Amino acid sequence: MMIIDFTRFSGIIARQRFNSIKKEIFRKSIHICSSLVPFFLSIAHNLTIIFLICAVVIYSLSEALRLKGIDIPLISRITETAARKRDENRFVLGPVTLVFGILIAAVFLPVKSAEIGIFALSFGDGFASLIGKLLGKVSIPGAGGKTVAGSLACFLAVYISTFCASGNCLISLLIAVCAMIIEVFPLKDFDNMIIPILIGTVYAQLATFL
Protein backbone atom coordinates (compact mmCIF):
# COMPACT_ATOMS: atom_id res chain seq x y z
CA MET A 1 0.00 0.00 0.00
CA MET A 2 2.80 2.41 0.91
CA ILE A 3 4.63 1.60 -2.34
CA ILE A 4 1.45 2.22 -4.35
CA ASP A 5 0.82 5.50 -2.54
CA PHE A 6 4.41 6.61 -3.09
CA THR A 7 4.17 5.77 -6.79
CA ARG A 8 0.91 7.70 -7.09
CA PHE A 9 2.43 10.66 -5.23
CA SER A 10 5.48 10.64 -7.51
CA GLY A 11 3.19 10.60 -10.54
CA ILE A 12 1.28 13.61 -9.24
CA ILE A 13 4.51 15.52 -8.63
CA ALA A 14 5.78 14.65 -12.13
CA ARG A 15 2.53 15.83 -13.73
CA GLN A 16 2.61 19.06 -11.75
CA ARG A 17 6.19 19.71 -12.84
CA PHE A 18 5.33 18.94 -16.46
CA ASN A 19 2.35 21.30 -16.38
CA SER A 20 4.49 23.99 -14.75
CA ILE A 21 7.18 23.67 -17.44
CA LYS A 22 4.58 23.66 -20.22
CA LYS A 23 2.98 26.80 -18.80
CA GLU A 24 6.38 28.51 -18.50
CA ILE A 25 7.30 27.65 -22.09
CA PHE A 26 3.99 29.06 -23.34
CA ARG A 27 4.31 32.20 -21.20
CA LYS A 28 7.91 32.91 -22.16
CA SER A 29 7.25 32.20 -25.85
CA ILE A 30 4.93 35.22 -25.75
CA HIS A 31 7.62 37.11 -23.82
CA ILE A 32 10.31 36.32 -26.41
CA CYS A 33 7.99 37.39 -29.25
CA SER A 34 8.29 40.95 -27.91
CA SER A 35 11.73 40.96 -29.58
CA LEU A 36 9.84 41.68 -32.82
CA VAL A 37 8.75 45.10 -31.52
CA PRO A 38 11.99 46.92 -32.57
CA PHE A 39 11.42 45.70 -36.14
CA PHE A 40 7.88 47.10 -36.20
CA LEU A 41 9.10 50.32 -34.60
CA SER A 42 11.66 50.69 -37.39
CA ILE A 43 9.04 50.52 -40.14
CA ALA A 44 6.06 52.21 -38.43
CA HIS A 45 7.09 53.80 -35.14
CA ASN A 46 3.96 55.79 -34.29
CA LEU A 47 1.59 53.06 -35.46
CA THR A 48 3.43 50.50 -33.32
CA ILE A 49 3.19 52.77 -30.27
CA ILE A 50 -0.55 53.19 -30.82
CA PHE A 51 -0.98 49.43 -31.25
CA LEU A 52 0.87 48.74 -27.98
CA ILE A 53 -1.27 51.27 -26.09
CA CYS A 54 -4.45 49.75 -27.52
CA ALA A 55 -3.22 46.25 -26.66
CA VAL A 56 -2.61 47.10 -22.99
CA VAL A 57 -5.99 48.88 -22.70
CA ILE A 58 -7.87 45.95 -24.25
CA TYR A 59 -5.97 43.45 -22.10
CA SER A 60 -6.67 45.43 -18.91
CA LEU A 61 -10.38 45.57 -19.70
CA SER A 62 -10.36 41.85 -20.47
CA GLU A 63 -8.70 41.08 -17.13
CA ALA A 64 -11.17 43.25 -15.22
CA LEU A 65 -14.07 41.40 -16.88
CA ARG A 66 -12.44 37.99 -16.35
CA LEU A 67 -12.20 38.64 -12.62
CA LYS A 68 -15.94 39.35 -12.67
CA GLY A 69 -16.56 36.00 -14.33
CA ILE A 70 -16.95 37.37 -17.87
CA ASP A 71 -14.54 35.73 -20.29
CA ILE A 72 -13.35 37.47 -23.44
CA PRO A 73 -12.79 34.91 -26.22
CA LEU A 74 -9.11 34.09 -26.82
CA ILE A 75 -7.68 36.82 -24.54
CA SER A 76 -9.00 35.33 -21.29
CA ARG A 77 -8.04 31.83 -22.44
CA ILE A 78 -4.46 32.89 -23.19
CA THR A 79 -4.21 34.69 -19.85
CA GLU A 80 -5.44 31.67 -17.89
CA THR A 81 -3.08 29.36 -19.77
CA ALA A 82 -0.05 31.60 -19.19
CA ALA A 83 -0.80 32.71 -15.61
CA ARG A 84 1.45 31.50 -12.81
CA LYS A 85 0.10 29.91 -9.64
CA ARG A 86 0.70 33.15 -7.73
CA ASP A 87 -1.63 34.93 -10.20
CA GLU A 88 -4.63 32.66 -9.67
CA ASN A 89 -7.81 34.67 -9.02
CA ARG A 90 -5.84 37.91 -9.40
CA PHE A 91 -5.26 40.51 -12.09
CA VAL A 92 -2.36 39.10 -14.11
CA LEU A 93 -0.02 42.08 -14.19
CA GLY A 94 2.82 40.66 -16.29
CA PRO A 95 1.55 41.65 -19.76
CA VAL A 96 0.83 45.21 -18.54
CA THR A 97 4.33 45.76 -17.13
CA LEU A 98 5.81 44.10 -20.24
CA VAL A 99 4.08 46.54 -22.60
CA PHE A 100 4.72 49.56 -20.36
CA GLY A 101 8.43 48.73 -20.18
CA ILE A 102 8.64 48.46 -23.95
CA LEU A 103 6.57 51.62 -24.46
CA ILE A 104 8.68 53.76 -22.12
CA ALA A 105 11.90 52.53 -23.73
CA ALA A 106 10.54 53.11 -27.24
CA VAL A 107 9.24 56.63 -26.51
CA PHE A 108 11.99 58.08 -24.33
CA LEU A 109 15.20 56.33 -25.43
CA PRO A 110 17.18 56.59 -28.67
CA VAL A 111 16.24 53.95 -31.23
CA LYS A 112 19.29 51.72 -30.74
CA SER A 113 19.11 52.01 -26.94
CA ALA A 114 15.44 51.03 -26.96
CA GLU A 115 16.26 48.07 -29.19
CA ILE A 116 19.00 46.85 -26.84
CA GLY A 117 16.73 47.28 -23.81
CA ILE A 118 13.84 45.41 -25.43
CA PHE A 119 16.15 42.59 -26.52
CA ALA A 120 17.47 42.29 -22.97
CA LEU A 121 13.91 41.92 -21.73
CA SER A 122 12.80 39.53 -24.46
CA PHE A 123 15.80 37.22 -24.63
CA GLY A 124 17.53 37.75 -21.29
CA ASP A 125 14.53 37.52 -19.00
CA GLY A 126 12.81 35.03 -21.30
CA PHE A 127 15.62 32.49 -21.48
CA ALA A 128 16.54 33.01 -17.81
CA SER A 129 13.10 31.76 -16.78
CA LEU A 130 13.02 28.89 -19.27
CA ILE A 131 16.51 27.56 -18.56
CA GLY A 132 16.07 28.13 -14.84
CA LYS A 133 12.86 26.10 -14.87
CA LEU A 134 14.25 23.32 -17.08
CA LEU A 135 17.85 22.99 -15.88
CA GLY A 136 18.16 25.05 -12.72
CA LYS A 137 19.41 22.99 -9.79
CA VAL A 138 21.37 25.52 -7.73
CA SER A 139 19.27 28.37 -6.33
CA ILE A 140 20.70 31.82 -5.63
CA PRO A 141 20.18 32.81 -1.96
CA GLY A 142 17.71 35.66 -1.51
CA ALA A 143 16.74 35.68 -5.20
CA GLY A 144 13.23 34.32 -4.82
CA GLY A 145 14.00 30.89 -6.28
CA LYS A 146 16.09 32.07 -9.22
CA THR A 147 18.93 29.79 -10.23
CA VAL A 148 22.54 29.97 -11.35
CA ALA A 149 21.60 28.29 -14.65
CA GLY A 150 18.92 30.92 -15.28
CA SER A 151 21.32 33.78 -14.56
CA LEU A 152 23.96 32.36 -16.89
CA ALA A 153 21.31 31.94 -19.60
CA CYS A 154 20.34 35.58 -19.12
CA PHE A 155 23.98 36.66 -19.45
CA LEU A 156 24.54 34.69 -22.66
CA ALA A 157 21.24 35.70 -24.26
CA VAL A 158 21.81 39.40 -23.56
CA TYR A 159 25.45 39.28 -24.65
CA ILE A 160 24.56 37.64 -27.98
CA SER A 161 21.56 39.86 -28.70
CA THR A 162 23.43 43.05 -27.76
CA PHE A 163 26.45 42.10 -29.86
CA CYS A 164 24.21 41.32 -32.85
CA ALA A 165 22.59 44.75 -32.47
CA SER A 166 25.68 46.81 -31.63
CA GLY A 167 28.73 44.89 -32.89
CA ASN A 168 30.69 46.01 -29.80
CA CYS A 169 32.13 43.19 -27.65
CA LEU A 170 32.95 45.32 -24.61
CA ILE A 171 29.59 47.06 -24.47
CA SER A 172 27.84 43.72 -24.99
CA LEU A 173 29.77 42.23 -22.08
CA LEU A 174 28.95 45.14 -19.75
CA ILE A 175 25.28 45.15 -20.75
CA ALA A 176 25.06 41.38 -20.20
CA VAL A 177 26.54 41.73 -16.70
CA CYS A 178 24.09 44.52 -15.84
CA ALA A 179 21.12 42.53 -17.14
CA MET A 180 22.19 39.45 -15.20
CA ILE A 181 22.46 41.46 -11.97
CA ILE A 182 19.04 43.06 -12.46
CA GLU A 183 17.45 39.71 -13.32
CA VAL A 184 18.69 38.15 -10.08
CA PHE A 185 16.65 40.53 -7.93
CA PRO A 186 13.20 39.15 -6.98
CA LEU A 187 11.27 41.93 -8.72
CA LYS A 188 8.38 39.69 -9.85
CA ASP A 189 6.54 41.25 -12.81
CA PHE A 190 8.17 44.66 -12.39
CA ASP A 191 11.40 43.44 -13.98
CA ASN A 192 9.46 43.78 -17.25
CA MET A 193 9.58 47.55 -16.77
CA ILE A 194 12.96 47.92 -15.14
CA ILE A 195 15.04 45.82 -17.55
CA PRO A 196 14.31 47.58 -20.88
CA ILE A 197 14.42 51.08 -19.37
CA LEU A 198 17.56 50.61 -17.28
CA ILE A 199 19.46 48.50 -19.81
CA GLY A 200 18.55 50.90 -22.62
CA THR A 201 19.74 53.84 -20.53
CA VAL A 202 23.01 52.08 -19.61
CA TYR A 203 23.62 51.29 -23.28
CA ALA A 204 23.02 54.93 -24.25
CA GLN A 205 25.65 56.04 -21.73
CA LEU A 206 28.18 53.37 -22.68
CA ALA A 207 27.79 54.07 -26.40
CA THR A 208 28.78 57.67 -25.73
CA PHE A 209 32.17 56.69 -24.28
CA LEU A 210 33.04 53.32 -25.83
Percentage of the chain beyond pLDDT 70 is: 85
More confident residue, 117 or 138: 117
pLDDT confidence of residue 187: 82
* pLDDT band of 124, cuts 50, 70, 90: very high
| CA–CA–CA angle 172, 175, 179 (5° rounding) | 135
Q: In b/e form, how buried is each residue of 32-44, taking b as 16+ CB within 10 angstroms? A: bebbebbeebeee
pLDDT confidence of residue 37: 96
Percentage of the chain beyond pLDDT 90 is: 53
On the question of pLDDT at 86 being above 80, the answer is: no
- Asked whether 117 and 200 are in contact (CB, 8 A), the reply is yes
> Which of 146, 40, 167 lies closest to 175 in space, CA to CA?
167
On the question of pLDDT at 149 being above 60, the answer is: yes
pLDDT confidence of residue 29: 84
pLDDT confidence of residue 136: 76
- Asked whether 38 and 115 are in contact (CB, 8 A), the reply is yes
The Cα–Cα gap between 90 and 54 comes to 22
Instruction: Give the mean pLDDT of 26-55.
Output: 92
pTM of the predicted model, to two decimals? 0.86
- Minimum mean pLDDT range among 92-96, 103-107, 150-154, 166-170: 92-96
Q: What mean pLDDT value characterizes the chain?
A: 85
pLDDT confidence of residue 72: 77
pLDDT confidence of residue 4: 47
| CA–CA–CA angle 97, 21, 118 (5° rounding) | 30
* pLDDT band of 28, cuts 50, 70, 90: confident
